[in-house]
Structure 1
Amino acid sequence: MTVVASGASDCDTPLRAVFKINLNGKTVSIGTVGQAYRFITNLSSIEWIEFRSLHADAVSSLHGAAGNAMLTVQATNALRALFVRAKLL
């Protein structure tokens, strides 16, 4: 794992919204950059293949937000677009 990826994964910076996703009968709450990064990168890349452009945008935005908290608005918007398109919200 690269230093940047580790930084995004460990980042406690809050997003502008808390996403509550129902996954396998359990509700997963995503409220920080790190939680979001781990959620969208721990799933298999095959699971995101249909949404690869939105997934790539979300990962990139989360990397940016991990380094600059002012970018959490863009990261939140990218996650929302991904989750809506994937019908997770």
Structure 2
Amino acid sequence: MSEVSDSDTPLMTTFKIILNGKPVSIGTVGQAYRFITNLSSVEWMEFRSLHEDAVGSLRSAAGNAMLTVQATNALRVLFGRAKLL
């Protein structure tokens, strides 16, 4: 996979997040990757380690769909700590 952000590999769940009053659904590796990398790094500063884990897991899952469980779990932890869920 050349670009993680283009990956259509489905996650194990669809995350439904309210961001700035608007619902956002995240159901694929590419959508999740774009969501957590398009926000400013300052916004993830408090959760830096969790953010790095999620980005790494998504990169791995884009190349190997068997790793979507780990990517989904990393996102669940990141979003939970950030109180987005």
**TM-score, structure 2 as length reference:** 0.98
Seq. identity, %: 80
Q: Which residue of 2 aligns with 1:40?
A: 36
Q: State how far apart, in whole Å, the 1-side matches of 2:15 and 2:4 are.
A: 17
**What are the residue-to-residue correspondences of 1:1-89 with 2, within 5 Å?**
7-89=3-85
Q: State how far apart, in whole Å, the 2-side matches of 1:82 and 1:70 are.
A: 20
Deviation (angstroms), 1:64: 0.2
The superposition leaves residues 41-70 of structure 1 with CA deviations (integer Å, 9 ceiling, x where unpaired) of 000000000000000000000000000000
Q: State how far apart, in whole Å, the 1-side matches of 2:76 and 2:64 are.
A: 19
For structure 1, list consecutive stretches of 5 or more residues without a partner in the other structure.
none
**TM-score, structure 1 as length reference:** 0.93
CA RMSD of aligned residues (A): 0.9
Structure with more of its chain in helix, by fraction: 1
